[in-house]
Amino acid sequence: MIRRRPTNRRNPIGKTFQLLSLMLEGKDGSWGVRELARASGLPPTTVHRLLASLENEGLVSREPESEGYRIGLEFYRLAWRAEAQFPIRDVAIPFMRSVVADCSETVFLGLYDPTRLEMMFVAVAESSHPLRYFIPLNQWIPVYTSASGMAIMAFLPRQEREQIVKHTQLAPLTEFTITDPILLEKELVRIRATGYACTHSQRTVGAVGVATPIWGHNNRVIGDLVITIPEQRFDASQEPELAKLLIHYSKCISEHLGVRVPTQHEIDQLSKEGRYGH
C-alpha cells in the first residue's frame, strides 16, 4: 500500500503531485479518470481538469484506444535531467563499490527527507553472494527502526525525533522493532556515542544491518550507508570492522561533497546543547 500524507484540497500543486505519484507508484499501465478519482479521493471533474493540464505540458499522455492516461515522455526527460544534477548518488557509488570489495556484502545508500521525516534507498552496490536481501529503491520508509533509519535518526535534533515518534507512534514493522520511546532514545544515545547502528530483524526478519551517517552542511545528517547481511552469515565479531569500514567511506562521501564531518567531541558537545540528545 502507498502511504501518503493528506493533500490540501485547495492546493492544486499538491493535487497534481498526488495524481503523478499514483501513476508512478501504483499499478502498471494506463489509468482512467474515474479510476484515478477513486484512488486519490478527488472528484472526477478535478482529476479530468488536472490531467488535461498535465497532458498539455507533456507530463502525461493519453492512449487513443483506451482513453487512459500514463506518464508522458516530458516527465521522464525532467526526471533524467534532475538525476544528472543530483551529485550525492554519483559521488557515493564508487565508495559503495569499495565497501563491497572490502567486505563482500551488499551496501545501500539511504537519503533522508526532513519534510516527510522519512528516508529512501536511492542506490545499491550488490555483493556476489547468492543469498542476499532485496530492498526496493526509491520508496519511502521510516527512520525509527532498523540500522539504516536509526543511524540517521540518532543525529537529528531532539524536536525532530519527537515529531517522528509522534507521527509514527513507533508502529512495529516486525516483532523486533523498538516500540518504546524510552528504549529507542537509549539506543540512539548509544549510536551517537559509537558512530554507527547495528540491528537484527527490525525491518526484515532474518536481516542484520550495520549503518553509519552521511553528513551534510551545518552538522545535518542527510543520509547513510548500510550493509545488509543475512543473519545466518553474520558473525558478531565482524561488527567493529564493518562499522569502521562504513565510518571511513561515509566520511569520504561527505568530504567529496565539500562537507567537514564533525568530530566525536563536537557531536558530544552538540548533544549537551540539545542539538541531538538531552
Tell me: pLDDT of 66 over 80: no
Tell me: pLDDT of 274 over 80: no
Tell me: pLDDT of 1 over 70: no
Distance CA 232, CA 123 (A): 25
For residue 124, count other CB atoms closer than 10 A to its CB. Answer: 19
Distance CA 70, CA 66 (A): 11
At residue 125, the pLDDT reads 96
- Which pTM was predicted? 0.75
At residue 4, the pLDDT reads 44
pLDDT in tens, 175-214: 999 999 999 999 999 999 999 999 999 999 999 999 999 9
Q: What is the DSSP letter of 225?
A: E
Counting every residue, how long is the chain? 278
Domains assigned to the chain: 12-81 (1.10.10.10), 86-272 (3.30.450.40)
Stronger pLDDT, 264 or 192, i.e. the higher one: 192
pLDDT in tens, 229-254: 999 999 999 999 999 999 999 999 99
| Per-residue confidence band for 275, with pLDDT thresholds at 50, 70 and 90 | confident
Q: Which of 8-17, 217-226, 232-241 has the lowest mean pLDDT?
A: 8-17
Stronger pLDDT, 72 or 274, i.e. the higher one: 72
Q: Side chain identity at 6, as an amino acid letter?
A: P
| Sequential DSSP letters for 48-100 | HHHHHHHHHTTSEEE-TTT--EEE-HHHHHHHHHHHHT-HHHHHHHHHHHHHH
- 188-195 contacts at long range (C-beta below 8 A, 24 or more positions apart): 188/150, 188/153, 188/154, 188/161, 188/277, 189/154, 189/277, 191/150, 191/151, 191/154, 192/154, 192/155, 192/267, 192/268, 192/271, 192/276, 192/277, 194/243, 195/243, 195/247, 195/264
Q: Which of 23-27, 96-100, 157-161, 236-240 has the lowest mean pLDDT?
A: 23-27
Q: Which of 46-50, 91-95, 108-112, 265-269 has the lowest mean pLDDT?
A: 265-269
At residue 6, the pLDDT reads 46
Let me know if 158 is exposed, middle or buried by CB neighbors in 10 A (0-12, 13-18, 19+): middle
| Per-residue confidence band for 2, with pLDDT thresholds at 50, 70 and 90 | very low
Distance CA 147, CA 25 (A): 25
- Looking at residues 223-232, what average pLDDT do you find? 95
